[in-house]
Amino acid sequence: MRFIDEFRNAELVRRLADKIARVSTRPSRLMEFCGGHTVAIMRNGIRQLLPPTIEMLSGPGCPVCVTANSDIDEAIALAGLPDVIITTFGDMLKVPGSYSSLQKARAEGSDIRIVYSTQDALQVARDNPQQSIIFIGVGFETTAPTVAMAVVQAEKEDLRNFYVLCQLKTTPPAMRALLDLGEIKINGIICPGHVTTIIGTGPYQAYARDYGVACVVAGFEPVDILQAVEMLVQQIERGDPRVEIAYTRGVRPGGNLKALELMHNVFDTAGASWRGLGEIPCSGLKLKMKYARFDAGRAFDVVLPPAREAPGCRCGEVLRGVIAPTGCKLFRKACSPENPIGPCMVSSEGSCAAYYQYGESDG
Amino acid sequence: MCLAVPVKITSIEGDQADVDIGGVSRRVSIALTPEAEVGNYVLLHTGYAINVLNEEEAQETLDLLERMVEAGEGE
Ligand code: SF4
């Protein structure tokens, strides 16, 4: 397939890995900040291709995994209201909240429908005028414009039964929070390809400038990732941290202006709660006042149970890159994709699920 | 969740487009990429094109990588 096969070329992958091994002399820690990268790195065995000087860590890049239990509890509580249809992306279904999951709520009788697009959620609203349709808006900047688009469209059509539970998050404040914590020293960041397609590279300049961290935006095929690693290693070896794009076919430095304008018109930034990182100022997106009537959080009153974490689950530390999934005592024992304890094992992009599926044993 | 895949636009009607996904046609929104034209490849994310792929950049990247891995060998 065009734009995919060329970037999976095994020969090019091997030669890029050789090149990296020749260039890399300094011990370097690289963190990927996108669940899609975590999966691609594990699936393609990229860690094993890299020299021992390079350590790869996974960060809080899976939107489902970083969603706080209290937010999942809210979605489940909304699902229990009469005459409500919950629409959600499939990833959210199995994620455990404090006491239940949307999947369990569905088994217990709630009307919960998986949609592929926010367009489908609007269609459910048009088809069911007597019911309230709530879309569970979880995701990063890649997804945020599609939620904004649905809200604008609902307004235009005067769809009075469409709501969004807006739990969208923005990645740059979380990266900064992680760097500020200083728990682990990171030399380079593999910046998220499709988030950057929307937001552009501007927000990363501060990481290179203020924190001395090399930043390269990467695509999702093995050649893309190795290219990004090569560029990061070159920056680190030269002692010249900056922001570069490896994924030039998919990312422009300024991002997608149309999408940014739309987000700007529909959302205000707000504090948001991240699993593992806690409350981070300005890291969430909330509907602006002029769209308040679509805000499920305002329109419906639900009483939430006190949030709690699954005992023994170390997802928080996994998401901060402090431990690898293999560092959790429950990994592959009590916790597996069939019997997941934390969200990092449930989501297909979660680090624990990726490690489980693609079988890394050495951490 | 930020998964997006390259697909080719086969026809356009307003802010909707038909794209080819592995031989199957699907209707998607191009409201976020008003510059998209028939024949373009776009990155498709949850039913929306989020960017028009830059074919020249793709080729340049591949050429650059070829030159780079060659230049380094035999050092
Ligand atoms: S292995 Fe399971 S219990 Fe351990 S951190 Fe991962 S999801 Fe949580």
At B67 the pLDDT is: 86
- Mean pLDDT across B11-30: 94
pLDDT at B36 over 60: yes
At A363, the pLDDT band (50, 70, 90 cuts) reads very low
Mean pLDDT of chain A: 94
At A1 the pLDDT is: 62
What is the value of pTM for the model shown?
Answer: 0.94
Structural domains of chain B in order of their starting residue, each with its CATH number? 5-73 (2.30.30.140)
Identity of the residue in A4, A142, A349 whose CB atom sits nearest the CB atom of B45: A142
Task: Please work out, in degrees rounded to the nearest 5, the angle formed at the alpha carbon of residue A73 by the alpha carbons of A67 and A79.
Answer: 115
Percent of chain A with pLDDT over 70: 99
- Mean pLDDT across A227-252: 97
Which residues lie below 8 Å from residue A41, measured CB to CB, with a gap of 6+?
A: A32, A47, A56, A225
> How far apart (Å, rounded) are the C-alpha atoms in residues A359 and A355?
5
- Using a CB-CB cut-off of 8 Å, the residues of chain B touching A60 are none
- Mean pLDDT across A42-71: 94
Cα–Cα distances (Å) from A224 to A37, A99, A171, in that order, read: 10, 40, 21
At A267, the pLDDT band (50, 70, 90 cuts) reads very high
Which of A104, A106, A158, A168 shows the shortest CA–CA distance to A135?
A: A168
Bridge-based pairing of strands B5-13 and A243-245 is unpaired
Within a 13 Å sphere around the CA of A103, how many CA atoms are in the beta-carbon half?
10
B20 touches chain A (CB under 8 A): no
> How far apart (Å, rounded) are the C-alpha atoms in residues A354 and A360?
9
At B1, the pLDDT band (50, 70, 90 cuts) reads confident
- Mean pLDDT across A328-340: 93
- Mean pLDDT across A224-228: 96
Q: A306: which DSSP letter?
A: P
Domain boundaries, chain A: 64-170+255-299, 315-355
Q: For A130-154, what is each residue's pLDDT tens digit? A: 999 999 999 999 999 999 999 999 9
Cα–Cα distances (Å) from A70 to A309, A322, A328, A343, in that order, read: 10, 23, 23, 13
What architecture is the A64-170+255-299 domain classified under in CATH? 3-Layer(aba) Sandwich (3.40)
Ligand 1 centroid from CA A279, angstroms:
21
> How far apart (Å, rounded) are the C-alpha atoms in residues A242 and A232?
9
B23 touches chain A (CB under 8 A): no
SS3 A226: helix
**For a substitution probing ligand 1, which of A38, A67, A313, A333 has the most ligand atoms within 8 Å of its CB?**
A313
- Cβ count within 10 A of residue A310: 17
Q: What are the structure tokens assigned to A14, written together?
A: 């091997």
Question: In this predicted complex, what is the ipTM?
Answer: 0.92
In chain B, what is the greatest distance between 2 CA atoms, to the nearest angstrom? 55
pLDDT at A298 over 90: yes
Within a 13 Å sphere around the CA of B56, how many CA atoms are in the beta-carbon half?
0
Which residues lie below 8 Å from residue A268, measured CB to CB, with a gap of 6+?
A: A285, A286, A287, A288
Most trustworthy range by pLDDT among A231-235, A348-352, B4-8 = A231-235
In this structure, the residue with its CA closest to atom 7 of ligand 1 is A342
- Mean pLDDT across A43-52: 94
> How far apart (Å, rounded) are the C-alpha atoms in residues A197 and A218?
10
At B73 the pLDDT is: 59
Q: For A170-193, what is each residue's pLDDT tens digit? A: 999 999 999 999 999 999 999 999
Q: A309: which DSSP letter?
A: P
At A360 the pLDDT is: 56
- Using a CB-CB cut-off of 8 Å, the residues of chain A touching B29 are 117, 119, 146, 149
A14 touches chain B (CB under 8 A): no
> How far apart (Å, rounded) are the C-alpha atoms in residues A188 and A236?
8
- Mean pLDDT across A21-38: 94
pLDDT at A359 over 80: no
How large is the C-alpha radius of gyration of chain B? 16
Indicate the Cα dihedral angle B7, B11, B15, B19, nearest 10°: -20
> How far apart (Å, rounded) are the C-alpha atoms in residues A86 and A228?
39
pLDDT at B75 over 50: no
Identity of the residue in A4, A18, A349 whose CB atom sits nearest the CB atom of B1: A349
Percent of chain A with pLDDT over 90: 93
At B68, the pLDDT band (50, 70, 90 cuts) reads confident
At A4 the pLDDT is: 87
Q: Which of A11, A93, A122, A249 to mutate to test the interface with B (most CBs of B within 10 A)?
A: A249
Cα–Cα distances (Å) from A60 to A89, A104, A191, in that order, read: 19, 26, 12
Q: Which residue has the higher pLDDT, A341 or A360?
A: A341
- Of A175-179, A316-320, A336-340, least confident by mean pLDDT is A336-340
pLDDT at A362 over 50: no
Residue for token digits 């209707």? Answer: B27
A15 touches chain B (CB under 8 A): yes
Q: Pick the residue from chain B with its C-alpha nearest to A258.
A: B32
Of all helices (H) and strands (E), which one includes residue B62? helix B55-72
Q: Specify the amino acid at residue B54.
A: N
Q: For A59-105, what is each residue's pLDDT tens digit? A: 999 999 999 999 999 999 999 999 999 999 998 999 999 999 999 99
Within a 13 Å sphere around the CA of A351, how many CA atoms are in the beta-carbon half?
28
pLDDT at B22 over 90: no
pLDDT at A306 over 80: yes
